[in-house]
């Protein structure tokens, strides 16, 4: 297995779809890595108990997590447009535009994203606590060289 295949599979393991608009629109999202979350926190200048920074962090993580969609039309962004029935093509730059135009979708996507992040973190934390070799400092035997 080459590196690019390993990377694709690692990314695919973090991906999920979430429907909106009674299933007429489906978003594809990818859970951020721990490093991506830290970078987003730095960009948002996140500080504990700062609601503004927390809102910026949540927005940064959500916008970055949306990796595709099926179903949105130009009408979801510009309801009065004569082209409202045409597909609204996905691009990373289009994500904030659609989420701003459909705040209920953004809220639903954010709730699902953060629920899954919390679930993944809980599983990871439990595994790390139960593994004597998860951190060499947690097991003197793991630090010994043969």
Angle 136-32-30 (CA atoms, 0-180°, nearest 5)? 130
Euclidean distance between CA atoms 93 and 63, whole angstroms: 9
Please name every residue paired with 16 in a beta bridge, in sequence order, or none if there are none. 29
pTM above 0.75, yes or no: yes
The predicted-structure confidence for 72-89, as pLDDT tens digits, reads as follows 999 999 999 999 999 999
pLDDT band at 144 (very low <50, low <70, confident <90, very high): very low
Number of domains, the chain: 1
Q: Is 107 part of any domain?
A: yes
Angle 69-29-84 (CA atoms, 0-180°, nearest 5)? 20
The predicted-structure confidence for 85-128, as pLDDT tens digits, reads as follows 999 999 999 999 999 999 999 999 999 999 999 999 888 878 77
Q: Which residues contact 116 (CB under 8 A, 6 or more apart)?
A: 16, 31
Q: Which domain holds residue 27?
A: 15-32+62-111
Determine what percent of the chain is predicted with pLDDT higher than 90.
67
Q: Is 95 part of any domain?
A: yes
């Amino acid at each position: 297995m080459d590196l690019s295949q390993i990377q694709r599979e690692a990314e695919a393991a973090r991906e999920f779809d979430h429907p909106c608009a009674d299933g007429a629109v489906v978003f594809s999202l990818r859970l951020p890595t721990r490093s991506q979350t830290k970078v987003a926190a730095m960009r948002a200048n996140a500080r504990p108990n700062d609601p503004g920074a927390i809102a910026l962090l949540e927005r940064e993580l959500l916008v970055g997590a949306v990796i595709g969609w099926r179903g949105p039309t130009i009408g979801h962004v510009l309801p009065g447009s004569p082209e409202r029935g045409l597909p609204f093509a996905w691009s990373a730059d289009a994500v904030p535009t659609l989420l701003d135009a459909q705040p209920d979708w953004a809220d639903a996507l954010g709730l699902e994203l953060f629920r899954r992040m919390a679930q993944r973190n809980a599983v990871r934390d439990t595994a790390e606590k139960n593994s004597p070799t998860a951190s060499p400092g947690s097991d003197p035997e793991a630090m010994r060289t043969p």
